[in-house]
Structure 1
Amino acid sequence: MPSRANRRRASRRRNSRASDTKVPVSAPAVAIRPRRPLPAHPANHTPFTQSAPTLIYNASVLIGQIRTILALVDRSKKQKVLDDEPVVVVEEPAQENHHHCHHHKCAEPATVESALEKSCNGEKLISFEDLPPAWQGTPYVRHGYRFIPLESWPAIVRSMFTFNNEFLNIQTHVITFIWTLRNYLPVADLGELIIVVAVLFCLSASILGHTMGGCSHRGAMEMCGRIDYIGIVWLLCACNATLVFYGFAAYPHIAYPFLGLSALMAFAGSTLPLLSWFNAHENRNWRLGFFITLKTMCLLPILGIWHLYGLAGMKEFLLPFLRPVALSALGIVFFTYHLPERFMDPNGKWARRFDSVGFGSHAIWHVLSVLSITDWSIALGVVRHSFAARAYA
C-alpha cells in the first residue's frame, strides 16, 4: 500500500499535467472572419451612369420625403400654436346663458373699424390677428402690418419707405425699376423693347400691389393686387415672345403663330386676375399652376428650334437660358414652401425682426426673380447675334 507521501506526490503530478492543457484566460482563441472583398465595378461604370428613369424616380422620392418633412413641421407648428393659446372660461348666470352672449367678449373676426382703431387710424403697425379676414394672407407672417385709410393716401405713399413687413418686397422692385431705366434705355431692337416694357410694367404693378396691400379700402386693395398678377403674366408672356423673336428671326412665317399664342396667353392672364375666385387665398395653388403653365409655354418654341436647327442648335440656343430658369425655379420653391418663415416660431425674436422689414420667402422670391430676368436679358443678347440669320440644320 503506497505511503501517504507517495500519494501526495502522485496528486501533485496529476494537477501539473492538467494545468498544462488549460487555455490562458487572458488570451482567448477567437476566430477572425476575413473581410469580404468589395465587388469590382465594371470598367465603364461611374456613379453618374444611372438611367434617366432611375434619376427621375430618385428625384421624385427625394421631393416626396421633403414634402413629408414640411407637412410634419406644419403640423407641429399648428399644434404648438393651439397649445400656447390660453383657455378662457366665461361664467355667467344660467338664466342668461341662452340670450346674453353679448355680455362677454366672444372670439369674432376683426372688422375694418376694429383694425383702424387698433392701428390708430393707420399710424401704427398691427398684427395678423388684428386684420379683417380679407386682408389676411400668409399666416406665417404675424407682425408688421399696415392698415391705412384710403383718404390718407400720402401716408400710404410714405409707408413705401418705412419699416413694415412689405418694406423689402417694395424696395427690391423700386431699385430694380430705376436700374432698368438707366441701363436698358434706349433699346436695341423690338425683342428688347418687348422684354423691357414687360419688366417695367411688372415692377410697377408689384410696387403698386404691395403698397396698396396696407390700404383699409377693400376694393382698392384687391384691384391693385390683381394688377400685380397681371404684371407677372405680362412678364412671363414677354419672355416666351422673346424666345420666339430671336429663335425664329430668320423664319417670320413660323414666328407669327407663336407670337399670337403668347398674346392669347397674355390676354387670358389679364382677364383671370380680375375674377374674385382667382384671387382667393384658398385658390393659391391654382394661381401658381397658371403661372407655371405660362412659364412652360416656352417649351413649344424650343421644340420648333429643335426641328429647325437640330439637337446641337437647340443646345446652343438653350445654354444661355439655363441659369435664369434655375434662378426662377429656386424663387418659386422659396415662395411656395414659405421658406424660411415656416421653420420659425411666429412669435419668436427672429420672426419679429424679419417681419419688421419684410424679410421672408416673398422678398427672397423677388430678389431671385430680379436676378433671373437680368440673366434672361443677358441671354437674349447672346442669341440675338447667333440666331439672327441662321439657316436650317
Structure 2
Amino acid sequence: MGKEKGLTSSLRNYGSISGDNDEGQRSLLPELDAMSHVADQTGEKYDPSNPELQKAIDRALRQVEIKGLLDYEDLPPPWQISEFILHGYRFTKSHWATAGSAFCLHNETVNIWTHAIAAVIILLAFPLYISPLPTWYGPGGYSDVAMAATYFLCFGGCMVCSIMWHSAKCSSSPTAIVTFVAVDVLSISLACSSFNFASVYCAFYQETAWLRFYLTVAGAWCVIGMVLPFTSIFERPDKAVFNINCDWLPVSRTWVRTLYFCSMLATGTLIPMVHSTLLNGWEASVELYSHCVPVLAPPFVGAMIYATHFPESLFPRRFDYIGSSHNLWHVFSAWGGVNGCIHIRYMLEIAWARLQKSAA
C-alpha cells in the first residue's frame, strides 16, 4: 500500500513530458503530461503487465461495477488528469464500451458533443457554402473552392480528432490512451493550419510567388505537427511511438511544444500579416485581417479560461458535468471554427475586389 501511495503521489505531482529536463514544469497540454507517466518510474518502455498499474486498473474496473461513474480518486493515477473535476468519470474495459459511452451522460459529454455538432455543421455546410457553383467562383476558379475545402476538411478533421480523444479518454488500455492523446495534439495542428491556409491565400491572392511560399511553409508546419506528437521530440522516449535522438535539443520538451505552436502562428499569421501590410498598406491589411478576430479570438479566450480552471476550481462538484473551463474552451473553439466559414468568404470577396481593382 505504501508503494502505491508513493507512486500515486509522484504521478499527481507530474511535471512535463520529458523527464529529468522537464521536472517541475507544467505543460500547456495537461492530458499529454499525465499520459506520459503511464510508464513506471524506472523509465522503461511501458509494459501492460506492470503489476502496480494493473492492480490500480483492476481496482477501478471493480469500482465501475459498483458505482457506474467514478470519482477522481477512484481512477488509476495516470488517468487523474483534471484534478478539479471530482465526479462523473467513465472507465471502460472494452473498445465497444468506450465507443458507446460517448452517447451516455458523464463529465465528457459536453466536450464530445460540442465538437460533434461543430463537425457536422462544418462538414455538411461545405456543399451549401460553394453553391451555386457558377456564381461562387471568384477569379481563382477551382483554386478558390480548393482553399475553402481545405479549411472545412482541416477544421472538421480537428473536431473529429478531439471527439476521438474525449471518447477514448475512459479506456482502461494505456496504449489506446497514449495513442489518442497524440491524435488530440495532432488536431491542434490541423486547427491552426486550417486558418493559416485561408488567411495567407486571401492576403496574397495577387502575389503568386509569395502565396506559394507561405502556403508551402504553412503546409510543412501542418505535416510536422501531425508527426511530432508520435515522436520522442514531443513525448518521452519510453512513451513515444517513434524514438528520435533528442540529446541535441537545448530545451525541454515542454518548450519544444510551445515553440512549435508559436512558430506555426508566427509563420502562418503574424509574419504574412506584416508582409501584407507592407505590400498593400495599413488600411487594406486591417480590412482583411479584421476578419481573423472573430475566428481566432473565441478559442484564445476559451484557452485562457481553461488555463484558470474557472469555475470548477472555486466551486467543486458543481461543474463536473457541464460548465467547466474545458467545456467552455470546447464551446469557444467550435464557435471560432464555425465563424471561419463565414469570414473566409468575406476575406475572399475582399481579395476578389482587390484583383478586379488592380486590373481596371
TM-score where L is the length of structure 2: 0.70
Task: Tell me what 2:80 maps to.
Answer: 136
Answer yes or no: is the 8 Å Cα contact 2:126–2:149 preserved in 1.
no
Task: Tell me which amino acid in the other structure corresponds to 2:305.
Answer: F
Task: Tell me what 2:105 maps to.
Answer: 163
Picking from 247, 250, 254, the partner of 2:210 is 254
Answer yes or no: is the 8 Å Cα contact 1:169–1:358 preserved in 2.
no
Give, in whole Å, the separation in 2 of the partners of 1:209 and 1:116: 20
Runs of 5+ consecutive residues of structure 2 not aligned to the other structure: 1-51, 131-144, 237-251
Task: Tell me what 1:341 maps to.
Answer: 312
Task: Tell me which amino acid in the other structure corresponds to 2:333.
Answer: S
Deviation digits for residues 279-331 of structure 1 (CA, Å, limit 9, x no counterpart): 58x97786466434433430011112112101111111112222322222211
Task: Tell me which amino acid in the other structure corresponds to 2:84.
Answer: Y
- Residue 158 of structure 1, CA deviation: 2.0
Task: Tell me what 1:111 maps to.
Answer: 56
Picking from 305, 317, 320, the partner of 1:352 is 317
Picking from 168, 172, 177, the partner of 1:216 is 172
**After the TM superposition, which residues 86-101 of structure 1 pair with which residues of structure 2 at under 5 Å, given as runs?**
none
Q: What is the aligned-residue identity percentage? A: 25
Task: Tell me what 1:385 maps to.
Answer: 349
Task: Tell me what 1:154 maps to.
Answer: 96
- Residue 353 of structure 1, CA deviation: 4.2
Answer yes or no: is the 8 Å Cα contact 2:57–2:172 preserved in 1.
yes
Task: Tell me what 2:31 maps to.
Answer: none
In structure 2, do the counterparts of structure 1 residues 387 and 264 end up closer, same or farther at CA, with 3 Å as the change threshold?
same
- 2:330 maps to 1:366: yes
Task: Tell me which amino acid in the other structure corresponds to 1:208.
Answer: M
Answer yes or no: is the 8 Å Cα contact 1:127–1:142 preserved in 2.
yes
Give, in whole Å, the separation in 2 of the partners of 1:364 and 1:340: 10
Give, in whole Å, the separation in 2 of the partners of 1:264 and 1:166: 33
- Residue 185 of structure 1, CA deviation: 2.3
- Secondary structure in structure 2 of the residue aligned to 1:144: strand
- State the superposition RMSD in angstroms: 2.5
Task: Tell me what 1:324 maps to.
Answer: 295
Answer yes or no: is the 8 Å Cα contact 1:164–1:358 preserved in 2.
no
In structure 2, do the counterparts of structure 1 residues 289 and 328 end up closer, same or farther at CA, with 3 Å as the change threshold?
farther
Answer yes or no: is the 8 Å Cα contact 2:288–2:347 preserved in 1.
yes
Picking from 200, 203, 206, the partner of 2:159 is 203
Answer yes or no: is the 8 Å Cα contact 2:311–2:319 preserved in 1.
no
Task: Tell me what 1:278 maps to.
Answer: 234
Picking from 120, 143, 150, the partner of 1:194 is 150
